[in-house]
Amino acid sequence: MRIDDRATLADLACGAAFLGSGGGGDPYYSLLLAEAAFARSGGFDLIAASDLDDDALVAPCGWIGAPTVSVEKLPNGRETVTALRRLEQLTGRKIAAVMPVEIGGGNGLAPFIAAAELGVPVVDADGMGRAFPESQMVTFNMRGLSACPSVLTAACGSLAVIETQDNLTHERVARGLSVALGGIAHMVEYPLTGAQAKRDAIQGSVTSAIAIGAAIRHARAARRDPFTALADALKATGLYPHCQTLFDGKIVDLERETKGGFSIGKVIIDGFGDGGRMEVLFQNENLVARQDGKVRAMVPDLITIMDRETADTITTERLKYGQRVKVIAAAAPAMLREPAALAVVGPAAFGLGHDFTPIERLNQGEGA
Amino acid sequence: MRIGVDVGGTNTDAVLIDGRRVVASTKQPTTADVSSGVAAAITAILGQVSLSPTAITSVMIGTTHFTNALVERAHLDRVGILRLASPSGEALPPLTGWPAALVDQIGGTLFLLPGGYEVDGREISPFDAAKVRDAASACRDQGITSIAISSAFAPINAAMEEQAAAIVQAEYPEARISLSHAIGRLGLIERENGTILNAALTTLAGHVVTSFERALRDLGLNAPLYISQNDGTLISAAHAARYPVMTIGSGPTNSMRGAAFLTGVQDGIVMDVGGTTCDIGVLVNGFPRESSIAVDIGGVRTNFRMPDILAIGLGGGTRIHLDPALYPAERLDPASLTVGPDSVGYRITSEAYLFGGATLTTSDIAVAAGKASFGDPSRIPPLSAPVRDGIWTRIQAMLADGVDRMKTTRGDATIIAVGGGHFLVSDSLKGAAQVIRPPHADVANAVGAAIAQIGAQIEQIVDYATTPRDTALARLREEATARVVAAGGAADTIEIVDMEEVFLSYLPGRSAQVRMKAVGDLASPATAPAPAEVQHAH
C-alpha cells in the first residue's frame, strides 16, 4: 500500500492519538514532519511483515523523552536517518524496512520521515499496539529479544550506541542520555529479523490507526456520532475487538505530580445529570478507570479520554479542569494479554492492586 | 467616567459608565472607516447626558477588525521571519502547515539561525550576532519592514530574542519587530505562528489604532485609550498597535465580562443571543473559561488564550421549518419540525412575519407565545396552541442542551441572558437555577470593554527539588503582580485568578511547568504610567 497523501497521514495521526491511551504525545508535530518529508521525497510503501524475508533487517524507531519538551525543542530532521546508517554499520547489513516501536501518539508517525527519505518500506506492525511509558514495555522484550545494539541521536548531532546486558538497564541508560541531551532524543532499538517481525510484533497496527482516523473523519463530515464510528472501526480492525464508552462527563478535579521522573496522577470526571463519578489514574498513559469505586477498565486495555464534541484525543499532559470528555476503553491486542506480557505491562507492573480483568468481563451487560 | 466601545461587524455599541453605573448607551452602524462610527457612537452617548469630553478618564475599545483581516486575508504585511533554534527544528521550518495562499501573501523570507535554549536553560547553540545582522539587511534589501523573531523556550528565557531584536533595530531602524515570548506560551510552532500573524498585522494595527486616536482627539477626548484583548483584560493602545494579535477573540469575552458586571454574578453561564447564534460561555471567578483545544485562526494553528465558547445555531432570526399546513394542527408531530440552523440574520426586520415578511422565525414564536413584545403580532399566521408551545419547548430544549454541555458543576446554574435575542431564553429553562436579564443586556459587549481589567500571565518551568514549591509559587505570584502594576494595574486590587501546574514527564526531580495569571483594576490616571511606557502584559 502506497501512502503519499495528507489525508491518510492525518487519519493515521488521529488514530495513533487514540491508540496512545493518553500518552505518546500529541502527534501534530509528527504529522507536520511527515508532510514536509512527503513534499521532499514523496511517500512510502506500507508492507505486511509477511512480505519480509526471514533474515531481513528491520529497525523499530521512536522518540524518548518528555512530551512537553518535544513541543519546544523540535527535531533537526536527520536524527532517524543518522541512527539507521549507524545501525547498518554496526550490523554490517542494509536495513530492509522500518517500523514504529509504538503506534500510540506521535511515535506512531516517527519512522515515516526516514522511510520517505531512504526509500525503504514501513512494516504495518509495532511493538506496543498502543503507547507505554517505558521502552522495555514492548512485545520484543516480552518475547525475550534484546534492545541492543540501539542507537540514540539528538537534534544537536550527538549520537550514542547503547549495549547493555538486559532491557531494563537499556531503558535506564537511554532515559539518562535523553535527559542529558535536552529532554528529547530519537532511538532505534530492538533491531529485528524479518522472522522476528512476523512472530513478535503486533501485526496490522498502522492500518488499524489509519482506519480509526478515517472513521472519525467520515463521521464528522457526515455529522454522525464519531464515537459510534470509532467503536465500529476498532472492532473491524480485529486487533481491538471490544470497545466501550465508559463515561461521559466533565473534569472536576485533576491531580498531577512527578514521581520517579514520570507524570503520575488522577483525573476525576463527574457525569452529566446523575451519571455518577469516574476516576482515571495515569502514569503518562491512563492506567485504570474506576466508576464510583468499581473498576471499569485497566492496563494494558486502552483507556483514552476524548473531547466529547469533537472526538479529539486529550493526552494526559493536556487534561484540564472543566474539559467536557468521554472516556473510551478498548481491548488491548491479544499479545498484550498473554501471561508473559501482563508481567511487563499488566496492572501489577504499575503497582496497582488488581489482577488483570479484561474490559469485556468488567462491563458485561453494559452494552457497547 | 469611562467609555466602552464595541466595534462589531454590523453595529458599533458604546456605553458610558460612572463608577459601577451605566449612565448612557447607544447602538450605531459600523462604518467602513471604523473611526467615524466610533465617533458617532461616542458623540451620541455624550449627548444623552450633556457631558463634557474632559469628564472622561479612559476609553476602552473592543474590535473584531484584526480577526476579520486574518480571516479575509486583507491588508496583511509581508514578514521577515527569524527563528533562533538551529540545529534543532530545521525539519519544521516556519510556515509549515500554513495555507499556501497565506504563505504566498505574507511569507517574505525565512532565516533559521543558531541559538535558543534547552528546557534546563542551557543554550542549544551560541547566539550569532553576525547572522542576525545579515538577516536584517536582507529584509531591508527586500523592503520587508515587519519582522517576527522566535527562539526555543523563549517563554522561560527571552534573552536571545531581545538580543536579536536590538541588533535588527540597530541595523534596520525602520523595522517593526514582533517577539514570540511576548505573544504565546510553550509550543514553538504555535507561538511562532502567532508571532508571524502579529507581524503581518503591523501596518493595519498602526492605521486602526491611529484612527481610533484621531476620532477621540477630534471629539476633544484626551483620556488614555485602551484596547481589550482575548482574555478580557486591557492593553494600552500603543501596545495593541505592536501586538494586535492579542485582541482577536475579545468579542465573546467582552460580552461575558459585561454580563458578569451587570449582574454581579462571578460564576455562572452567559448566553449571548444574537440574530443567528447563541454563544454560550462559562464564567469562572468573573472571567470566561478558556478553550482547551488548539485555536485555528485563518487556517493557522495557534495557542492563544481564548474563551471557551459553544455557538449553537439559534438566534432571534432563526428559521422555523414546519409545513404551514400543520400550523393549525391539534398536536405537533416532533418529526415534522426543524429549528434552524439557518437564519434571516439582519434581514429579520423585513423577512419575519411580525415585521410584514413571510418567514416564520423564533422571534415570531416568542411574540406569539407572549414571551416578548415587538413588531406586529397580527401579521403572525395563526398557530394552534399545541404547535406554538411545541416549537417554544423545542427552542428551550436546544438552549438547555447547550447549557448542559457547557456546565462544569453538577446542579442548576445561574444563567445570564444578554444580546438582542435574550428573550428566547425562558425563565424556566431546564438546568437554570435562575435566569437573570440585566438592564443594558443588549450592549453587554461595550459594557465588558468599559470595565475590563489589567492582566498579566507568566509561565515558567520550576524544579521543586531545588526550589521548594511554596517558595517558587510565591516568587511567581510576586512577578505576576509586578507585571500587572507595570502594565497600569492598581497594586491593592491585584489577585491571582488562575494557576496551572503541569509536571514534566521523564525529567528528573520534580520539574513542573507553572502558568499563573494575575489581574487588577486599572489604576487611576494620576498613578498609571503613560501608555507609551506600559510594559507588555503577557
pLDDT (mean) for A205-228? 91
Instruction: Give the residue with greater pLDDT, A205 vs A65.
Output: A205
> Is B119 close to A324, i.e. CB distance below 8 A?
no
Q: Which three cell numbers stand for residue B310?
A: 459553544
Query: Which chain A residues touch B292 with a CB distance below 8 Å?
Result: 307, 314, 318, 320, 322-323
The answer to whether B504 faces chain A, any CB pair under 8 Å, is yes
pLDDT tier at B538 (50, 70, 90 boundaries)? very low
> Is B124 close to A156, i.e. CB distance below 8 A?
yes
pLDDT for the residue B480? 92
Q: What is the mean pLDDT of chain A?
A: 91
Q: Distance between CA A251 and CA B61 in Å, rounded?
A: 35
Which of A82, A153, A258, A267 is most worth mutating to test chain B (most B CB atoms within 10 A of its CB)?
A258
Cα nearest neighbour of A312 on chain B: B293
pLDDT for the residue A334? 96
> Is B505 close to A68, i.e. CB distance below 8 A?
yes
> Is A310 close to B293, i.e. CB distance below 8 A?
yes
Shortest distance, CA B516 to any CA of chain A (angstroms): 14
Query: Which chain B residues touch A250 with a CB distance below 8 Å?
Result: 407-409
pLDDT tier at B530 (50, 70, 90 boundaries)? very low
Q: Distance between CA B271 and CA B259 in Å, rounded?
A: 9
pLDDT tier at A179 (50, 70, 90 boundaries)? confident
pLDDT for the residue A199? 97
The answer to whether B126 faces chain A, any CB pair under 8 Å, is no
* Whether the predicted pLDDT of B528 surpasses 70: no
Of the candidates A155, A261, A322, which has its C-beta nearest B87's C-beta?
A155
pLDDT for the residue A262? 60
pLDDT tens-place string over residues B61-82: 998 778 777 877 888 999 999 9
Instruction: Give the residue with greater pLDDT, B50 vs B232.
Output: B50
Residues 377-396, chain B: which have Cβ within 8 Å of A? Answer: none
Instruction: Give the residue with greater pLDDT, A58 vs A33.
Output: A58
Cα nearest neighbour of A172 on chain B: B506
Portion of chain A with pLDDT greater than 70, in percent? 95
pLDDT for the residue B39? 93
pLDDT for the residue B110? 95
pLDDT for the residue B521? 77
ipTM of predicted complex = 0.86
Cα nearest neighbour of A171 on chain B: B506
pLDDT tens-place string over residues B331-385: 998 899 999 888 887 678 889 999 999 999 999 999 999 999 999 999 999 999 9
Instruction: Give the residue with greater pLDDT, A115 vs B30.
Output: A115
> Is A258 close to B500, i.e. CB distance below 8 A?
no
pLDDT for the residue A319? 81
pLDDT tens-place string over residues B105-129: 998 799 999 999 987 778 999 999 9
pLDDT for the residue B506? 45
- Beta strand spans in A92-201 (E): 95-100, 122-123, 125-126, 150-153, 159-162, 184-188, 192-193
> Is A312 close to B293, i.e. CB distance below 8 A?
yes
- Beta strand spans in B285-396 (E): 287-288, 295-297, 300-302, 309-312, 318-321, 338-343
Residue A78 Cα distances to A85, A117, A154, angstroms: 11, 10, 9
Of the candidates B409, B500, B506, which has its C-beta nearest A261's C-beta?
B506
* Whether the predicted pLDDT of B274 surpasses 60: yes
Is A3 strand, coil or helix?
strand
**Highest mean pLDDT range out of A23-37, A75-89, B403-417?**
A75-89
Least confident segment among A188-197, B74-83, B439-448, B463-472 = B463-472
> Is B87 close to A157, i.e. CB distance below 8 A?
yes
CB under 8 Å to A99, separation ≥6 — which residues?
A58, A59, A60, A61, A111, A122, A123, A125, A126, A127, A192, A197, A201
pLDDT for the residue B392? 96
* Whether the predicted pLDDT of B527 surpasses 50: no
Instruction: Give the residue with greater pLDDT, B330 vs B66.
Output: B330
Portion of chain A with pLDDT greater than 90, in percent? 66
pLDDT tier at A256 (50, 70, 90 boundaries)? low
Of the candidates B88, B152, B508, which has its C-beta nearest A261's C-beta?
B508
Shortest distance, CA B508 to any CA of chain A (angstroms): 5
> Is B409 close to A65, i.e. CB distance below 8 A?
no
Q: Which three cell numbers stand for residue B62?
A: 473592543
pLDDT tier at B408 (50, 70, 90 boundaries)? low
pLDDT for the residue B536? 38
* Whether the predicted pLDDT of A42 surpasses 80: yes
pLDDT tier at A273 (50, 70, 90 boundaries)? low
The DSSP-derived string for A70-100 is: HTTS---S-HHHHHHHHHHHHHTS-EEEEEE
- Beta strand spans in B174-273 (E): 176-179, 225-228, 234-236, 268-273
Domains of chain A: 2-203 (3.40.1610.10), 241-362 (2.40.390.10)
In single-letter form, the type of residue at position A18 comes to: F
Which of B98, B309, B466, B503 is most worth mutating to test chain A (most A CB atoms within 10 A of its CB)?
B503
pLDDT tens-place string over residues A313-367: 988 877 876 678 999 999 999 999 999 999 999 999 998 888 999 999 999 876 4
pLDDT tens-place string over residues A106-127: 899 989 888 988 899 999 999 9
* Whether the predicted pLDDT of B172 surpasses 80: yes
